[in-house]
Amino acid sequence: DVQLVESGGTVVQPGGSLRLSCAASGFIFSSFGMNWVRQAPGRGLEWLSYISSTNVTIKYADSVKGRFTVSRDNALNSLYLQMDSLRDEDTAIYYCARYSLEYNGYGRDDHWGQGTLVIVS
């Protein structure tokens, strides 16, 4: 079974840094792009970043560009999100998601982790 397990969430002060991890299993990690998505308390889902299967393509939402860095280690089946210059508004549950692509380019997040809570305070 596909499994994604996030870790690293904790309480951090404004201006601080944090690194989230997402451990993948049950599929060929190196064949899939991955996304980070978050949900702030009482708010909706917010897409944050995408990294392609081979690190060639990396994209960010404007809200985190320049502060967050996504990376992956295919040998360790792991995805990471380095979060710097954290702000109060970064308080949220952070999810990693597997991005599945159809042959015709249609993509969707078909498997998600349970999330890890980051509190900036």
The residue ranges that bind other proteins (CB under 8 A) are 35, 37, 39, 44-47, 50, 59-62, 95, 97, 102, 106-115
Find, among 60, 61, 39, the residue nearest to 51 by Cα.
60
Nearest distance in Å: CB 64, other proteins: 10
Residue closer to other proteins by CB (options 16, 110) is 110
d(CA 47, CA 70): 13
d(CA 23, CA 7): 8
Residue closer to other proteins by CB (options 75, 105) is 105
The tokens for 78 are 């792991």
Residue closer to other proteins by CB (options 62, 88) is 62
Nearest distance in Å: CB 63, other proteins: 9
The 3-state DSSP class for residue 62 equals coil
